[in-house]
Each structure stands twice: as structure tokens, then as C-alpha cells.
Amino acid sequence: MTRSLLFRTEDLSDYIIQFFVRHDISPKDARTAAEILLAADLRGVDSHGIIRLDTYYGTRLRKGLIDPHARLEVVRETATTLALDGGSGLGQIVGYTAMQRCIEKARQSGIAMVTVRNSNHYGIAGYYAMMALPEDMIGVSFTNAQPLVAPTYGRKAMLGTNPIAVAVPAGGERPYVLDMATSIVPIGRITVYDKAGKAIPEGWGIDHEGKITTDPKQVLNGGALMPLGGIDLMRGYKGYSLALLVDIFSGVLAGSAFGTDVAQPSTNEPARVGHFFAAMRIDAFRPLEEFKQDMDVLIRMMKNSPRAVDQERIYIAGEKEFEMAERRRTQGIPLLETVVESLKASGQLVGLPFDLDVQGVVEN
């Protein structure tokens, strides 16, 4: 049995901001990065939240592999497109700025697409897609990542978990927010199981020989994640092809690293991660209110359709995450005790004690 400790969102935010500022990130950028990291924890994507604060961001900042002062450079630009160089900046700031510019272009042209090269891990893809929602736009966000996923029939990690995120506004219903890895799970989920001392479900990963394993350590040490769908019998080649699609947009089209050229976090090389963003103004295609009304009809059509035996609800993509975020804002964000110990150790490195008040304990 493992335990998680509950912390207030505001306390964690303050700590993350101070942590980044200690690493020479400006207070403004630190606040943005903290918001994006905690968006992952609030929405239940714990693998992309504060758990990575030092294991990825702090470590690479101290090594000089993330430039705390980087500013995006325009490589090419048209009325509807923009190609940017992230200058090895903090991924959250690179992604946030790039999506802002994408939205600005879409306001003028109706639709816009932006690529970014030479960036770093940017957290949850869904955050950037959701930036379009207040503008009554559809948002899209892709990113590649270090190779962790084996291609169908392969045994070596060749592709990242390469997420796809799309956010679509509705009227009375919650927005549709798809935020999915093209692997069967993110690598961080394997890490969470490993830290908790739990076996992973069969079909999540393979060992170094390409055999399916339930031992998270076998996946983390020389193994690989499986693509979405798993084995070929379950049509895992579809997840593999989607991962490759994301790498084409985020890596090849962006002029960034792709495939096995994206650096592993443990190396002393720039990550050269690539991103792709798009924003579409709905009223460029049809009246906004009519679109929202039809989105409500479609969502309710799904949610009110006949349920399987013993099932209480049918969900729309993003719905569970919105509800979890509401609960966690009230009850607190749970962090495994092992994660808390890791944060305490990393805090000592920069003279920033992790001594936040615990709001409660959850048995896992």
C-alpha cells in the first residue's frame, strides 16, 4: 500500500515559481511554467506535472541544456504560417508563446499553423490546444519527444509518446478536449507505477527482447512502450502510424530533431524537441452560435446513448479531466510520498526547502 499527500494548488504553484526563479527563469515565465505544470496534476496527468520539476527541468537547466533566457526566433512567416526556433528554451514558455502567436494569426486570417524547432519537453499537449477555447477557436497541439516507443514488430524505442491534442468549444456542454499519447501510456505513467512498487498492466510495455512485461523496471531499463493499441492483433500499427504522423509534423516539417535524434533527458545534448500548433476560427467556416448548438447536440447524443451493462455514464473526451481538476482544486493535489521525498532532495540542491503544509493523506 502506498500513500499520497495532499497539497494546495496555490502552495505548489508558489514553490514551482520559486524553484524556476532559482534557476534564472524570469518571474513572469516561472508563473506561466508553473500554471502549465500544475494543469497536468490538476487534470490527473500526474506523469507530466510536478514530478518532472527537477528530474527533467531543473536538471537540464543546471546542465545548461535549457536556456532560461531563450526567446523565439522567426525562421519563416506567411499570413497563415509561422516557423519558429525555440533556442533550447523552457518548453512551457516556448509552447505558450508559439500558441499565442498562432491564435493571433488565426484572428486575422481565420486559420493559422505554427511549427517550432529546438525546444524541450513542454508538459501536457492539451494545455496549448485549450488556449484556443476562450477565443472561440479550435486548437491543435502536437509534439515529438525522446524515443520511448517501439514500432509495431520492433523491440527498440524509435519514437516518442508523441501526443495529439485537440480542443473544441461547445455551448452549454463542456468543451471536447482530446489529449492522448500515441503510445498506449506515457512513460511517466510507467515511472509512477515503478515509484509505487506496482506491476504495470500487461500490454503497456516490452523488455529489451521485445517481449511483453508487467515489470516497469524492464520497460524503463532497455525496454520500450508499446504504441496505442498494443500488439498487432489489437491494431497497434494504428498507434505506431499516428506517432509517426506527429513526428512528421513536429520534427520533419518543423526542421527539428525526429525519431532517435531527439535526445534522451539523461544525455548532455540539447533535446531539439519539435512542436506543431494550429488554431481555427470557427466563424470563418460557419456562424459560431450554430456551431456551438450543434456541438451540444452531438455531445448529448453520445452521452445519452444506451449504456453498456453496469455502466453509469458515457463520457466525452476531457470531461473526466475537467471534473478531476475541480475536485483537486478543492481537496488538494495528491503527490506520492516518494515524489515528495524527491522534491525535498531537489529543493536542498537550490536552497529551497519543500516544507509545504500537508492537507491530507490518501491511501493508494
The three-state secondary structure class of 168 is: strand
The alpha carbon of 100 is separated from its chain's Cα centroid by a whole number of angstroms, namely: 17
Contacts of 82 (CB under 8 A, 6+ apart): 74, 76, 98, 101, 102, 105, 112, 113, 114, 115
Provide the strand spans (E) within 198-307: 205-206, 212-213, 224-225, 273-281
Residue pLDDT, tens place only, 159-195: 999 999 999 999 999 999 999 999 998 787 788 788 7
Enter the C-alpha cell of residue 298. 452531438
Residue 321: phi and psi, rounded to 5, are -70, -40
Contacts of 348 (CB under 8 A, 6+ apart): none
- CA gap 143, 286 in Å, rounded: 29
Over residues 47-60, the mean pLDDT reads 93
Most confident of 223-232, 249-258, 355-364: 249-258
Cell numbers 545534448 correspond to 269
User: Which of the 8 DSSP states describes residue 201?
Assistant: P
Q: For residue 1, what pLDDT is reported?
A: 64
Closest CA to 92 of 18, 19, 37: 37
What percent of the chain has a predicted confidence (pLDDT) above 90?
88
Contacts of 22 (CB under 8 A, 6+ apart): 350, 351, 352
Q: Give Cα separations from 113 to 61, 63, 170, 228, 272 (angstroms).
A: 29, 32, 22, 26, 20
Q: For residue 127, what pLDDT is reported?
A: 98
Residue pLDDT, tens place only, 312-345: 999 999 999 999 999 999 999 999 998 999 999 9
With a cut of 80, say whether residue 256 has pLDDT above it: yes
Enter the C-alpha cell of residue 313. 455514464
CB 88 within 8 A of CB 66: yes
Give 264 or 129, the one with higher predicted confidence: 129
Q: For residue 191, what pLDDT is reported?
A: 81
Residue 336: phi and psi, rounded to 5, are -55, 145
**How would you classify the pairing of strands 176-180 and 164-168?**
antiparallel
Q: Give Cα separations from 98 to 44, 102, 159 (angstroms).
A: 25, 6, 23
Over residues 251-265, the mean pLDDT reads 96
Closest CA to 127 of 183, 166, 184: 166
Question: Helices (DSSP H) in 252-303: which residue ranges?
Answer: 288-303
What percent of the chain has a predicted confidence (pLDDT) above 70?
99
Q: Give Cα separations from 89 to 25, 76, 100, 156, 215 (angstroms).
A: 10, 19, 16, 29, 35
Q: State the amino acid at position 30 in one-letter form.
A: A
Domains for the chain: give ranges and CATH numbers: 1-62+332-364 (1.10.1530.10), 71-184+226-328 (3.30.1370.60)
Cell numbers 514551482 correspond to 16
Entry pTM: 0.94
With a cut of 90, say whether residue 41 has pLDDT above it: yes
Q: State the amino acid at position 149 in one-letter form.
A: V
With a cut of 90, say whether residue 57 has pLDDT above it: yes
Mean of the per-residue pLDDT values of the chain: 95
Residue pLDDT, tens place only, 110-133: 999 999 999 999 999 999 999 999
With a cut of 80, say whether residue 233 has pLDDT above it: no
Q: For residue 202, what pLDDT is reported?
A: 87
With a cut of 70, say whether residue 234 has pLDDT above it: no
